[in-house]
Structure 1
Amino acid sequence: MKKRITYFIVFIVSTMSAYSQKSSLVKADKSYDQFAYFDAIKTYERMFYKGYKSADLLEKLANSYYFKADLQNAAKWYGELYAIKKDLSPEYYYRYAQSLKAIKKYSKADEMMAKFSQMNGNDRRAKLAVEQKDYLAIIKKNSGRYSIENAGINTEYSDFGSSFFGDKLVFTSARMKDKVYEKKSPWTGEGYTNLYMVSKSADGTLSGVERVSGNINSKYNASTAVFTKDGETVYFTRNNYLDQKGKDKAILLKIYRATLKKGAWENITELPFNSNDYSVAHPALSPDEKYLYFASDMPGTLGQSDIFKVAINFDGSFGTPENLGDIINTEGRETFPFISEDNELYFASDGHPGLGGLDVFVYKVETDKWYKKVLNVGETLNSSKDDFGFLINTTTKLGYFTSNRDGGLGGDDIYKFKELKKIQYPCEQFLGGKVTDKALGEPLEGAKVTLFDSDYKMLKVVIAGSDGKFDLGPVGCNEKYYIKTEKADYNSIEVPVVIANESGTTFVPLMLDKSVRELKVGDDLAKVLELKTILFDLNKSYIRPDAALELSKVFDVMEQNPNIKVDIRSHTDSRQSSDYNKKLSERRAKSTMEWLIKNGIDRKRLTAKGYGESQLLNKCADGVKCTEAEHQVNRRSEFIIVK
C-alpha cells in the first residue's frame, strides 16, 4: 500500500511538472510572438537549465538574443541548436555566422556562411560572401582611419542615433527618469526611448543633456531625428502604437514631421507613405534637402529592411518611395542611412560582409553616377558587435556613431570620432563611345564594336544604338585595350585605348569612312585618302619606301576607277631660291608619276607639274620667320582629279 501511495505521489509530481513546463512554454512562446524577447529569454533559459531541451526552444531562445542584438549570447544558443540539429534552414546558418563574428570566431563563421551559400546561392548575401572571400583583408585596407572615444553622454541604458541641430546634437536614449515607476519596453527590458539634446563644442565635446521639449516625445518610443539646415523642420521616428486601456500593442514604426514655431515643435504629422502594415524609420536628408532617405520593410523590400529614398516636392508633398536596389540592399538588414555633404551614403548592414553584427558601409555618388561597390569603413569604427548611426561633419571631420561594443556603459553607446584619412575607393572604369560617319558626322546605328585585351583576346562584342553610342561596360584601370569597329559599306578601323588609373568613364569617339565614296573633278586624292605627307630625302626626288606605301593607295583608287585622270602637283616651301624650288618640285612630280606608271597606270591618265613655292598655303614666304611645322604645311603633293 505504501509503495502504491509513493508511486501515486511521483505520478502527481511528474504530471504537475509536465503541466508546469507546458504552461511555461506557452507563456514564453506568447512573449516571443509579441516580440517581448526580454521576458521570453528568462523563461526559455530557465526551462533549458531545468533539462527541457528542444530544437524549437533553442531556435526561439537564440532568435530572441539575435533580435535583441545580443549576438554574443545568440552565438551560444545557436551553437546549442546546431549541436542537436544539423539540418537547419539557411537563415539559421546565416544568423549563426553573424553571431560567431560577434565573438570573433571568423573561421567558424566562414564555415557557416559556406553552408548558407550552398543552400541559398541566389541570395545576395551568399553571392557577396563568395565574391569577397577575403573580406577581412578588404576591410583591413580601410581600417585605422578614425580616432574614437566615448562621447561622454552615455548611461547604463541604450543611447544611440544622433543628428546635428545647429550647435547641438540630438540623440535617442532609453534612460529612465524614474527607475521604479516608469514603464519598460517588453522588447528590450529598458525604458521607452525619447529624444534628448546636448550642447556641442568646436572639438566635438558634448555637455548639458536635456530632454527635447514639446510633443515630439511621447509615452512610447521616439527616436532618430533629422533636422533641416534652417532648423525649422524635423523628421523623426515614433512608434506606430495602439493605446487601448494602457495595454501596449506597439510593434511598428512611423516617420513624423514637425515644424518649429516660437521655440516649440508643432504641426506633428505622419508622412503619407507610413502604414500600419510595415515600419518606416530612421530618416536622413540629402545635402540639398530634396530627398528623404529612410529604412523600411514596405512592399518592394528585398530583405528584412532596406534603404529607400523619396522626393520632397517644393510644396512639401512627397513623391513615391524608391528602393535603392540590390547594390546597397540585401536579404539582411540595411538601416540607419546618412548622406554626407560629400554625397556619400553611409548606412548600417548585416548583409554585406563585415566584422560582425551591423557594420557601417559607404556608397559614393560622383557626378550623378553611383559607384558599383559598397565599402566597409573598416576598424576601429566597425567592431565585432553592432555599429550604426554614422554621422559626420565633412568640414571638421568630426562625427558620432553608435555601438554596443565591449567597454560601453549601456546596451548601445554613442562614440565621438575624428576622421584621419578619407576612404580609398577602388578604381572603377567604364568604357563607351560613339560611332559616326567621318564625312557627315552622323551616328552610325548598328555598327559592330569589338573589344580586345592587350594580348588581342576578344572580350566583348556590342552593337551601336540609334544614336551611335555603345557601352562596353567595366574595364580594368591602367590597362590597354583595342577597339575594332565594323559596318557594311564602311572601312573597318581598329584603335588602341589606354584606360586611366582613376575612377570614371573613358569615352572613345570612332569615325568611319565609307568604303565606297563618290569622286568628282577637283577632288584631291591626298585628302580623300588622308595620305601621310609624301617625303623625299633632302634635295632628292627618288621615291622612298614610306612614300611608296602612300602612293600605293592612289594606285589602288586609280586601278579600281579606270576612267579617272589625275594631275600630280608637287609643292615646296620658300626656303632655297625660287628657281631651285621650281626645278626640285618638277623632278619630284615626275618621279611620282613614273612610279605609278611603272606599277601599271596608263601614262595617258597622268599629268605632273612642279609648282615650287608659288602656291604657299600660309605666310611663310621668303624672309618670314616660321617654324618647321609651318614650313611643312607647304611641302605637299596633290593628286587632283581632272576627269
Structure 2
Amino acid sequence: MKYSPSTWWSVAGITPKHIKRYSLKPAALFLLIVIVCSSMTMPDPDNSMRRADKAYAKADFAEAAEWYQKVLEKEPENLQAMYRLGISYLEMREPRKAKLCLAKVFELDPRFGEKVIVNLAEALHQNYEFEEAKKFYQQEIYSTGRADWNYVEVIRKRLEECNAGQALLAQPSVAQVVNLGAAINSKEVEFVPILTGNDSTLLFTAHEAPEGPEQIRISRKVKGEWKASKEFLPATNTKMGHSIVTISPNGNQLYTYAAAEGLRSFDQAKGAWVNPKPMPIPLSQLANETSVHITESGEFAFFSSDRPGGYGGLDLYVSQRFPDGTWSAAINLGASINTPYDEDAAFVDATTKTLYFSSRGHNTMGGYDIFKAVMLDGAWQQVQNVGFPINSPHDDLYFTLDRNRQSAYFSSDRPDGMGALDIYQILFLK
C-alpha cells in the first residue's frame, strides 16, 4: 500500500502547519519522517507480533496466545501483547491466566485499551473472585457516568451477577459435577445431551469449531461406564450440519436444529431416519426457534423463540397437541419465567411438574444458569437457581434429568474442561 505525503505527515505526527512554521526543506523533511517512523517501529525480527495479531484478528485465540507469549519473552513490557494475551485467555476460558495478564496491564497503564478495567473485572468474575470483580465493575461505572447509559446498565447487570454468585456460593453444595471424559468430550464442542433407551444411551452433538459441521453422536453405557462415542448418522446424509434437539418419548421422531433450516423432525422407519419436515406452525413461525422439548406424554411442546410479543431475547413458549396431531396456538410462559434476557433449553419432569430451563436473567451468576420452577394450581411458582456447583459464571445449559432423578446431564464451557463446551453429569447429593 502506498501512502500520500499527507498520510506520512499524519503517521509521523506532522501536519502541513508544522511544515510551514519550521520551513523545512524537502530533504530535511524526508530525513525527519524516516527518523520519527523508525523510532515508532518495534523490532520484530521473527514476525511474532504480526503473526499474533493476525491470529487474533481471525479469532484463533489459541494460536494468538502462543505468539504473544513469544513476543513477551523478548519484550516483557509490551503492553499490547500482554493485553491481547489476556483477552485471548478470556476467550479460551482460562480466567486465572487472563487475570494475571490484565492485572499487569492495569498496573502499568490503568487506561490501556480503554476497557482494561472491565476486562480485568470479567476475568475476576469468571474466576469466582466476585468481591474483587465488583470493585472494578463499580470503577467502570463511575468513570463512564451517564455518557453511555446502556453500557452502564450492562455493567450493573455484571454487578448483580457477582452478588448472585456470592449468595449461591454461601449455600450448601447441592451436587457433585463430573466431566464425562474422553469417551464423550474432546478439545472441541459437545452439547445437548439426550438420554434414551432407559438411560443407557446418550445422544449429543459434536462440533469441530469454528468451521466444521455439527455431527450427532451416540454413546452407550456398559457396566456403568459410557463407551467411546461414534457417529450416530452418516455425515453424508441429509442431517449433516444438524444438531440434535430431542427425541420423542416413543422414540419414533428425531428433532434437530440447523441454522439455515430451523427446527425439523425426522421419522424412524426400518432403522433409518426419513421424511424430514419443518416443525409446524406455531412451533415454527419465521423466527429464531432454537430448541424444543416434547413432554413424556407427547401432549405438550415447550420451545424457545424470539418471535415478536415476547419479554425480550429468546422466550419460552408451550403448545398443546390435539388428538388429530395439530398443535394449539403457542402460549408465552409469562413474566415469572421469561425475562428481558434469553431463556432457552426447556426440560419438563412431568412427574414432579417441574420445568428446568437455562436463562441469562433471574439471579444468574454469569452467562446462562440452569433454573427450575414448579407448576402448582395452574401457575408457575417462583423460579429457583439450581445452585452451585451445577451453575458457574460461564454458560450452563441443556439440562436433562434421568428417569430415577438421581442424576442429570448438561453442557458447560467452564474452565478446566476438555474443550470449548463439554458434557457433564450431575450427581445429586441426598
2:5 maps to none
List aligned pairs for 1:3-42, cutoff 5 A. Answer: 37-38=59-60, 42=64
CA offsets, 1:124-163, max 9 Å, x none?
A: 996897699575335543x423233332422222222101
1:401 maps to 410
List aligned pairs for 1:609-624, cutoff 5 A. Answer: none
1:389 counterpart (386, 398, 401) = 398
1:231 counterpart (222, 234, 251) = 251
Conserved 8 A contact 2:161-2:363: no
Q: Helix, strand or coil: the match of 1:136?
A: helix
TM-score, length basis structure 1: 0.47
Is 2:194 aligned against 1:163?
Answer: yes
2:374 maps to 364
List aligned pairs for 1:230-269, cutoff 5 A. Answer: 230-240=250-260, 254-269=262-277
List aligned pairs for 1:310-349, cutoff 5 A. Answer: 310-314=318-322, 315-341=324-350, 342-349=352-359
Q: Helix, strand or coil: the match of 2:229?
A: strand
Is 2:117 aligned against 1:84?
Answer: no
Partners of 1:155 and 1:40 lie apart in 2 by 16
Conserved 8 A contact 1:98-1:357: no
Q: Which has the higher contact order (CA 8 A, sep 6+)?
A: 2
Q: Helix, strand or coil: the match of 1:101?
A: helix
- Larger mean Cα displacement after TM superposition, 155-164 or 5-14: 5-14
CA offsets, 1:87-136, max 9 Å, x none?
A: 97xxx96x875553211221033345667699679979968976995753
Conserved 8 A contact 1:173-1:195: yes
In the alignment of these two chains, the number of paired residues is 377
Is 2:154 aligned against 1:145?
Answer: no
AA at the equivalent of 2:176: S
2:131 counterpart (87, 104, 107) = 107
Bigger Rg over Cα: 1
1:294 maps to 303
Q: By how many angstroms is 1:299 displaced?
A: 3.1
AA at the equivalent of 1:239: A
Structure 1 residues 16 and 108, CA, compared in 2 at 3 Å: closer, same or farther?
closer
Partners of 1:226 and 1:328 lie apart in 2 by 21
AA at the equivalent of 2:344: T
CA offsets, 1:228-257, max 9 Å, x none?
A: 1110012222122xxxxxxxxxxxx72221
Identity percentage of aligned residues: 23
Q: Helix, strand or coil: the match of 1:83?
A: coil
Partners of 1:98 and 1:14 lie apart in 2 by 35
AA at the equivalent of 1:84: R
AA at the equivalent of 1:149: V
Partners of 2:159 and 2:41 lie apart in 1 by 50
Partners of 2:371 and 2:215 lie apart in 1 by 26
AA at the equivalent of 1:392: L
**Richer in helix (by share):** 2
Conserved 8 A contact 2:293-2:348: yes
Conserved 8 A contact 1:222-1:236: yes
Partners of 1:297 and 1:67 lie apart in 2 by 26
Q: By how many angstroms is 1:170 displaced?
A: 0.4
Q: Helix, strand or coil: the match of 2:133?
A: helix
AA at the equivalent of 1:211: E
Q: By how many angstroms is 1:355 displaced?
A: 4.2
Partners of 1:386 and 1:319 lie apart in 2 by 32
Structure 1 residues 130 and 160, CA, compared in 2 at 3 Å: closer, same or farther?
closer
AA at the equivalent of 1:171: F
Partners of 1:217 and 1:74 lie apart in 2 by 42
TM-score, length basis structure 2: 0.67
AA at the equivalent of 1:234: L
Structure 1 residues 233 and 138, CA, compared in 2 at 3 Å: closer, same or farther?
same
1:199 counterpart (215, 220, 231) = 220
Q: By how many angstroms is 1:415 displaced?
A: 1.9
1:179 maps to none
Q: Helix, strand or coil: the match of 1:164?
A: strand
Partners of 1:404 and 1:410 lie apart in 2 by 8
Q: By how many angstroms is 1:209 displaced?
A: 1.7
Conserved 8 A contact 1:339-1:345: yes
Partners of 2:152 and 2:29 lie apart in 1 by 63
